[in-house]
Amino acid sequence: MPKASAVAKPRTREKAAASTKPRCGLCGKTSRLTKTECCDRWICDDEANYVLFSYARNSCSRNHRRYTLCGFHFNEGHKRSWQDCKKCRKDIETEMYVHYGTNEFNFEKLADPPPYEPTRCGKCNRVIKLGTEAHSISSKGYTCSDCFSF
């Protein structure tokens, strides 16, 4: 029985072209892309899909711009890199700083997030995840969605 050849097959022109085509750095799609203003990375050009006041997280572009330290840092006009920006660290509450630096909307995540005490509801003492759960804030502190009323 002959041995299988260890020589790799040459790549086809189609496969080579597909591997060099830009992809969204968050979801991997290859159509309707643009580059971010903050970090010059390929991302879906999909902000038009967002419905105002829906709080949907269905736009790669919007999510990166609004929910990351990279986007915040750029929008605030801070200098140098977001990874070591003292102004960003000072301006954002620690729990939200960690969320913005480590969530799935980042191309690059915060290497060493600082520790923080979880935020608790001022009425029932339940832990509130500020980055992902509904809550309200007033001069009296945070209130979870179970305790606030309209």
pTM: 0.81
Kindly list the domain boundaries of the chain, sorted by start residue.
23-117, 118-150
Q: In the prediction, which pLDDT does 8 show?
A: 53
Q: In the prediction, which pLDDT does 1 show?
A: 52
3-state secondary structure of 143: strand
Closest CA to 88 of 104, 72, 75: 72
Please give the Cα distance from 45 to 54 (Å, whole number).
Answer: 19
Residue 51 confidence class, pLDDT cut points 50, 70, 90: confident
Give the Å distances, CA to CA, from 32 to 1, 43, 80, 95: 50, 9, 30, 33
Predicted confidence (pLDDT) per residue in 56-101, tens digit: 788 999 999 999 999 999 999 999 999 999 999 999 999 999 999 9
